Amino acid sequence: MFKKDLLYKLGIAVYLIVWYVGSFWMMAALQSGLFGHLFGVDWSVVHEYAYYALAGGIGGTLYALRLFHEYYDQLSERWLFWYLLRPIKCAGAAVMTIILFQSGILLLQTGDSVLAKIGIAFLVGFGYGKVMDKLKSLAETLFNGKSGGSSDTKGPQAPGKTVWDEDETPK
């Protein structure tokens, strides 16, 4: 029948395409008021944040589709969860980044335009890795009192705890 790796590749391709097309469809459905009150949520209140999440998901999915195409022959089971989690992580990061901009913690002058924020959310999803590097640097500056991206800024460590390096793998 099918080889195992071919099934993984097919599954990833279908999953990413459903996320990509589905996110555009969800934006249109939210704009049309299709959902109203669903799952106990008044979507008219949070529709802007749903747009940001969907735009971040679109950006992350587009990036994942590009990498899927570029590295199709090198795809292994090891990358399965990266592809599965990418749109979800990008959607969450997009919403939180917009909230950080709105709160004034991160400074970027976009005005109050929803379209500008949707554009930023897309870029956050597309450039997720770089955004996470910047947020990590910001968190280290805010909470350790030190600036810079060096790995010495980890702060005190409790006895018996593992120190994690930059890519979050155990040392």
What rounded mean pLDDT belongs to the chain? 81
Give CA torsion, residues 158, 162, 167, 171, to 10 deg.
130
pTM of the model: 0.76
Residues 6+ apart with CB under 8 A from 159: none
Extents of the domains making up the chain:
4-126
Six token digits for residue 29 = 């459905």
Segment 148-165, tens digit of pLDDT: 544 444 444 444 443 333
Report which of residues 120 and 5 the model is more confident about.
120
Q: Sorting pLDDT into bands at 50, 70 and 90, what band is 147?
A: low
The listed range with the strongest mean pLDDT (29-33, 45-49, 57-61) is 57-61
Looking at the chain, the whole-number percentage of residues with pLDDT higher than 70 is 82
Number of alpha carbons in the 13 Å side-chain half-sphere of residue 36:
1
Residue labelled with tokens 């004034």: 104
* CA–CA dist 124, 65 (Å, integer): 16
* CA–CA dist 153, 104 (Å, integer): 24
